[in-house]
Amino acid sequence: MAVLRRQSFSGLASRVPAAYTARMWKRKRYQFFTNVTYRTCRTCLSEHGRIANRSDAFLQCDNDCERHVVPFFRSELAYRRRLQKEMFASSKGELERRRLFNSGIAALGGDNEQALNLLTASARHDLYIPEVERLIAAKEGVLRADSDLRRRLLAVFARAYSDKFGWYRYERLPEPMRIARETEGLRRLREMFE
């Protein structure tokens, strides 16, 4: 079996000039990375994970989104494409999170059950404290008048925030830092809905 494989490889090499093959495999590709958060602009979300032949092929944006263009060799292409699939999914998830969260804000004060469903669904994607602050600013009157609604919203957000720190990407944080962030976030949430 080993002999056969060696034969077929040498057969291929004899048909393709060695220098050309080496150049092909060494040719660099580039992959675009941003940090997907509630602030990432739509341009960067749509570029996140994209692979190009040139480092300057990616769309610019006017925001201060984090941008990294990572060079890699063609031999890594399969791995990079797997990564790309996850990154596209993460951008799509963030857009869906925003849609659900904004629809939830809009429904608050009208159909509160629907609002709670939408906000719960949104928080399954991710939850950001500044987004909750935005919700409170938009619906201050509704929330002030309804302590039961505040209690239910706090339950939804506090649970989602705790879950968030169990997710894969936060597992890379050192334990004391993770606990400190979680505790601080939960404290802030309770303060907002008191």
Q: Are 47 and 35 in contact (CB under 8 A)?
A: no
Contact predicate 40/19, CB 8 Å: no
Q: How far is the CB of 37 from Zn ion (least distance, A)?
A: 11
Q: How far is the CB of 67 from Zn ion (least distance, A)?
A: 7
Return the number of the residue (41 or 77) whose C-beta is nearest Zn ion.
Answer: 41
Name the residue type at position 190: R
> Which window, 21-29, 33-41, 71-79, 162-170, contacts Zn ion (CB under 5 A)?
33-41
Query: Does the footprint of Zn ion cover residue 41 (CB under 5 A)?
Result: yes
Report, in Å, the least distance between residue 41 CB and Zn ion: 3
Residues 44-103 that bind Zn ion (CB under 5 A): 44, 61, 63, 65
Length of the chain measured in residues:
194
Instruction: State which residue, 58 or 101, has the beta carbon closest to Zn ion.
Output: 58
Q: Which amino acid is at 139?
A: K
| Among the residue ranges 38-46, 77-85, 94-102, 181-189, the one whose residues contact Zn ion (CB under 5 A) | 38-46
State the nearest-atom distance from the C-beta of 48 to Zn ion, in Å: 10
Nearer to Zn ion, 65 or 118 (CB): 65
Sheet of 51-52, strands arranged across: 51-52, 28-33, 68-73
Provide the mask over 146-175, with x wherever binding to Zn ion is found by CB under 5 A and - wherever it is not. Answer: ------------------------------
Q: How far is the CB of 114 from Zn ion (least distance, A)?
A: 32
Residues interacting with Zn ion, by CB under 5 A?
41, 44, 61, 63, 65
